[in-house]
Amino acid sequence: MKKYKLSEICKEIDLEFDGEDIEIDGLHTLDEATPSQISFLHDKRYVSSLGSTKAGAVLLEERYTDMLPNGTIALVTDEPYLKLALASKFFAHKIVTKGGHPNLGDGCDIDKRVRFGKDVTLGDNVTVMASAYIGDNVTIGSNTIIYPNVTIYHNCEIGSNCILHAGVVIGSDGYGFAHTKDGRHIKIYQNGNTIIEDEVEIGANSTVDRAVFGSTYIRKGTKLDNLVQIGHNCDIGENTLMAGQAGIAGSTTMGRNVVMGGQSGTAGHLSIGDFAVVAGKGGVTKSLKGGKTYAGFPAIEHKLWLKLQAKLSSLVKRKK
């Protein structure tokens, strides 16, 4: 893991600081950051995490500096999110075309047209079909099948007994940008990974984005249909089912056995409870309790939605 002096990072992103010139090995949230990492505050909803953060340094506005713990370095800026984006480039994975020979378990069947990055590890009886690409430091568990043209980006983990159908992309960059005052969009490098647990099946041309930092999770036993999109830093619970064209925005957390109908979707930073069902085309705009069925946009309980549709239909007929 490459480390940089805090002074080096600050010089590159045009910031000054007072304090020890510590070594930095990454970026993370206020709750998860370690003393060798930089964190940030750009949303007042997370102010409560400032006092307990273990981050070595925090990008934040001057009005919040008194809330930092002793020893945490304040990196004062009126654009903390933009400075985070600029700093993220330091820790981006270096993209190279040169690969290596994977560490193979027993009984693997690998098409000769597969390309591997460096330090790839495959378990026993893994099948990888033509034109797949398996990136640097990827691990794939035993008895997993990788169909043609699947792409698995660097540092991702695939469990045992999984099926990834043709055209699946695991670990592509999440959709993250900071915005300058003059309207430019600055890339936030997505330096986390994606973890697919055991017994997951992912349909053709579906995508699961890597995390900004930390991991995007698809938990054990989940089944995704074709053309499903999972955003960065989502945590999709065990045995979840998603029908075609469902889309889950970043940092959504789902409990176990959630069902998402075709073309349903969520806004970001929401939670959906265990055994919730969202009907086709349902649009989730706020967190939902488990054990209930929802429909419509914005998604409401299904029985209420049916009553609403009946009322609307009655009003239309009455006007005629």
- Tell me if residue 232 is catalytic: yes
Q: Is 75 buried (19+), middle (13-18) or exposed (0-12) by CB count in 10 A?
A: buried
Give the residue from 245, 241, 283 showing the smallest Cα distance to 258: 241
Identify the active-site residue in 154, 232, 269, 302: 232
| Cis preceding-peptide flag for 298 (omega within 30 of 0) | yes
Catalytic residues: 232
